[in-house]
Amino acid sequence: MTDYNYETPWVRVLPLGGLGEIGKNMMVLETADDIVVIDAGVLFPEWNMPGIDIVIPDMDYLEDNADRVRALLITHGHEDHIGAVSHLIKRINIPIYAPAMAEALIHEKLRQAKLRDQVSLEVIRPGEQHYIGGFEVEWFSVCHSVPDSTGIAINTPAGVIIHTGDFKLDNDPVIGSPTDLGVLSDICQDGAFLLMADSTYAEEEGYSASDREIAENIPALIGAAPARVIVSSFASQISRIQIVADACLHYGRKLCVVGRSMINNTKVSREIGHLNIPADLMISSAEANSLPPSKVVILTTGSQGESESGLVRMARNDHKDIQIQDNDTIIMSSSTIPGNEVPVNDSINELVRMGARVITNQETRTHVPGHARKEELRALLNVTRPKYFVPVHGEYRMLKAHADLAISTGVSPENSFILTNGDILELDTDSAEVVDRIEAGHIFVDGLGIWDERGNVINERQALQQNGIVSVAFSRDVTDGSLVGKPKIVSVGFVHKEDAQGLLRETEDALRPVLEQYLKKPNEWNEIEEVVRKTVGSFLSRRTKRRPIIITTSIDV
Ligand SMILES: [Zn+2]
Ligand SMILES: [Zn+2]
């Protein structure tokens, strides 16, 4: 597909994830000689993906073009940007460049995957120039909800490409730097060739709120609490951990951090100097249980109702260290991500039932998101003045709102592209168009298994979840393959036990003559399975209007 005879320099962008979804961000930038990859994130499974741990981008294209892939460039340390790094490195071993916080988190991931010794992982600082393949790469500071967040400016033969990463414009963040519009305006003196920017909040009017508001509200809530306080947040919200720690110091409470990811992120952030917490402020859960409740704050995950998280375990009363007590104040320092409303609501009900008071973001502002709203995005467009625009990091409606906004600031409509994962957009100084499309669907990871959508696993699990399973067994005579006795049918999760008996016996009676007839002549096993599936499936569907999964086995006797 690569054509080396172009007269004008061109560059291709190929999103392998992150468009039409929030998650598994991965953007490929390509010239005739070089490829770099921006971010390698995961998508957390949705309710309709039973049993799936994570979803990662399809990386076949990178493996197929491995000889040209020069590096993985990381914008920041959120899972939707670094969660698939180990999976990528297992496929192609390329150097990784990442800002400090992300580097520390990736280091740990690679160590756990036993890959750390095999790969080059380098910390970058904003403002440094890095020459990677034929690209000149410079990271710039942006404000986001994790420290050391960056955007990336890439000088290509065709012009300067800006990828913002996740960002907002908060001029006074609690931790980290504001978004460096000064540097961006220098880099984009002649206007950016291409801008790719965060679309998460492109539909929201105005400006995002500052973390400073949270830095006032959460301490006030902790100060007013009559007894123990439990704060639940995202483990990656490092500034939130600092705010809670400062409030503990101020009100003479001790801080107990629970949950693997929360403990790990706190440790990493203290090591690289992003958290300033005196060692004697931190206590173990055993110590927390022995102190008076009014002297304790517990910090935990679980703000999204995740079933294995700290807060949800407490709500189920099966947390090994912490039991909810009367008069606990629980501060949910998060907003509920769409799709998680039911589990979040369930755990709030349980916590209240156990005597706790639960304060959510609706009641008092306890959370601000880390993504720019319309007026901030407009400011970015005005500073970078791009020729071409590709909105990234968002569902389709967000990408569309962002593209409309770009057009309203002067980007010409034919230069604004709402891409789909797998689209190959080729740009040069005169024109840009989608020249090809490759496979870029979900890759599912489940324990040690990895498969794509073409396998039937998810569909089968959905069918199992909805309609249960029916197992058909029968015996065949070894000598001529004929049916011996009656077929035997049992079910799991299909119909109520009392109804099952009669229905399944009737199904056996309906299947028997069909099988007797069919097994008289020699048949391939898959044909026999097909006949059983059709006969049993349509009989049960007529009677119950449901289509369970049907499994057939036979025993030669
Ligand atoms: Zn992020
Ligand atoms: Zn993100």
Instruction: Look up the CATH number of the domain holding residue 114.
Output: 3.60.15.10
pLDDT band at 153 (very low <50, low <70, confident <90, very high): very high
pLDDT band at 514 (very low <50, low <70, confident <90, very high): confident
| Residue 189 forms part of a structural domain | yes
pLDDT value for 448: 65
Is 47 a residue whose pLDDT tops 70?
no
Strand residues in 292-354 grouped as ranges (E): 296-300, 329-332
pLDDT value for 7: 66
Matching residue, tokens 């994790």: 146
Which ligand neighbours the alpha carbon of 145 most closely? 1
Is 384 a residue whose pLDDT tops 50?
yes
272/296 same-domain check: yes
Answer whether 40's CB lies under 8 Å from 84's CB.
yes
The Cα diameter of the chain in Å comes to 86
| Residue 301 forms part of a structural domain | yes
283/243 same-domain check: yes
User: CA–CA separation, 347 vs 230, rounded Å?
Assistant: 14
Residues with CB under 5 A from ligand 1 (ion): 78, 166
Six token digits for residue 463: 């069918």
Q: Is 19 exposed, middle or buried (0-12, 13-18, 19+ CB in 10 A)?
A: buried
Residues annotated as catalytic are 198, 371
Please give the order of strands across the beta sheet that includes 442-446. Answer: 54-57, 442-446, 449-452
Cα-based distances in Å from 154 to 8, 28, 33, 151: 18, 12, 15, 10
381/492 same-domain check: no
Cα 443 from chain centroid (whole Å):
12
298/224 same-domain check: yes
Q: Is 290 exposed, middle or buried (0-12, 13-18, 19+ CB in 10 A)?
A: exposed
Rounded to the nearest angstrom, the distance between the alpha carbon of 37 and the centre of ligand 1 is 17
User: CA–CA separation, 166 vs 222, rounded Å?
Assistant: 30
pLDDT value for 456: 67
57/80 same-domain check: yes
| Residue 173 forms part of a structural domain | yes
Q: Is 535 helix (H, G, I), strand (E, B) or coil?
A: helix
Rounded to the nearest angstrom, the distance between the alpha carbon of 142 and the centre of ligand 2 is 13
Answer whether 340's CB lies under 8 Å from 304's CB.
yes
pLDDT value for 4: 44
pLDDT value for 459: 72
492/397 same-domain check: no
- Number of structural domains found in the chain: 3
Is 124 a residue whose pLDDT tops 80?
yes
Cα torsion angle, 414, 405, 395, 440, sign: positive
* End residue of a domain, out of 417, 452, 487: 452
Rounded to the nearest angstrom, the distance between the alpha carbon of 191 and the centre of ligand 2 is 25
pLDDT value for 451: 66
pLDDT band at 266 (very low <50, low <70, confident <90, very high): very high
Alpha helices by DSSP H, 391-475: 396-408, 457-467
> pLDDT tens, 422-449?
999 999 999 999 999 999 998 988 766 7
Is 3 a residue whose pLDDT tops 60?
no
pLDDT band at 477 (very low <50, low <70, confident <90, very high): confident
Mean of the per-residue pLDDT values for the chain? 91
Is 48 a residue whose pLDDT tops 70?
no
CA atoms within 13 A on the CB side of 123: 10
**Which of 93-97, 115-119, 481-485 is predicted least confidently?**
481-485
Which ligand neighbours the alpha carbon of 38 most closely? 2
**Which of 213-217, 293-297, 377-381, 420-424 is predicted least confidently?**
213-217
Domain holding 46, by residue range, is 11-206+369-452
Rounded to the nearest angstrom, the distance between the alpha carbon of 152 and the centre of ligand 1 is 14
User: CA–CA separation, 107 vs 122, rounded Å?
Assistant: 10
40/166 same-domain check: yes
pLDDT value for 108: 93
- 406: closest CA among 383, 433, 432, 426? 383
24/86 same-domain check: yes
Six token digits for residue 432: 């840009």
Q: Is 408 helix (H, G, I), strand (E, B) or coil?
A: helix
53/156 same-domain check: yes
| Residue 200 forms part of a structural domain | yes
59/160 same-domain check: yes
Is 556 a residue whose pLDDT tops 90?
no
pLDDT value for 485: 84
Is 5 a residue whose pLDDT tops 50?
no
With pLDDT > 70 as the criterion, what percentage of the chain qualifies? 96
pLDDT band at 453 (very low <50, low <70, confident <90, very high): low
Model-level ipTM above the cut of 0.90 = yes
181/232 same-domain check: no
| Residue 221 forms part of a structural domain | yes
Cα 515 from chain centroid (whole Å):
48
Which ligand neighbours the alpha carbon of 42 most closely? 2
Strand residues in 243-354 grouped as ranges (E): 254-257, 296-300, 329-332
| Residue 86 forms part of a structural domain | yes
Is 353 a residue whose pLDDT tops 90?
yes
Rounded to the nearest angstrom, the distance between the alpha carbon of 369 and the centre of ligand 1 is 10
Rounded to the nearest angstrom, the distance between the alpha carbon of 307 and the centre of ligand 1 is 22
Which ligand neighbours the alpha carbon of 24 most closely? 2
Q: The CATH number of the domain where 525 resides is what?
A: 3.10.20.580
What mean pLDDT comes out for the span 227-250?
Answer: 94
pLDDT value for 454: 60
Is 2 a residue whose pLDDT tops 60?
no
Rounded to the nearest angstrom, the distance between the alpha carbon of 168 and the centre of ligand 2 is 12
Rounded to the nearest angstrom, the distance between the alpha carbon of 165 and the centre of ligand 1 is 8
Rounded to the nearest angstrom, the distance between the alpha carbon of 251 and the centre of ligand 1 is 31
Q: Is 276 exposed, middle or buried (0-12, 13-18, 19+ CB in 10 A)?
A: exposed
**Which of 9-18, 278-287, 303-312 is predicted least confidently?**
303-312
Is 268 a residue whose pLDDT tops 60?
yes
Rounded to the nearest angstrom, the distance between the alpha carbon of 510 and the centre of ligand 1 is 58
Which is more confident, 204 or 467?
204
Which ligand neighbours the alpha carbon of 44 most closely? 2
What mean pLDDT comes out for the span 87-105?
Answer: 96
What mean pLDDT comes out for the span 442-466?
Answer: 73
Six token digits for residue 120: 């080059």
Rounded to the nearest angstrom, the distance between the alpha carbon of 485 and the centre of ligand 1 is 63
Q: The CATH number of the domain where 281 resides is what?
A: 3.40.50.10710
List phi, psi (to 5°) of 214: -70, -35
What mean pLDDT comes out for the span 353-373?
Answer: 94
Matching residue, tokens 């073009």: 65
CA atoms within 13 A on the CB side of 60: 10
Is 371 a residue whose pLDDT tops 50?
yes
Six token digits for residue 474: 């029968």
| Residue 6 forms part of a structural domain | no
Is 275 a residue whose pLDDT tops 80?
yes
pLDDT value for 136: 97
Answer whether 211's CB lies under 8 Å from 204's CB.
no
* End residue of a domain, out of 310, 327, 359: 359
Is 476 a residue whose pLDDT tops 60?
yes
323/430 same-domain check: no
List phi, psi (to 5°) of 403: -60, -45
- 179: closest CA among 137, 142, 126? 142
Please give the order of strands across the beta sheet that includes 159-163. Answer: 129-132, 135-141, 150-156, 159-163, 194-198, 388-392
What mean pLDDT comes out for the span 479-508?
Answer: 84
Is 465 a residue whose pLDDT tops 80?
no
Which is more confident, 67 or 173?
67
Six token digits for residue 452: 């794509």
Which ligand neighbours the alpha carbon of 81 most closely? 2
Which is more confident, 463 or 371?
371
End-to-end CA distance of the chain: 58
* End residue of a domain, out of 359, 389, 412: 359
Which ligand neighbours the alpha carbon of 236 most closely? 1
Please give the order of strands across the beta sheet that includes 469-476. Answer: 483-492, 469-476, 549-556
Rounded to the nearest angstrom, the distance between the alpha carbon of 75 and the centre of ligand 1 is 9
pLDDT value for 455: 63
432 DSSP β-pair partners: 427
pLDDT value for 1: 41
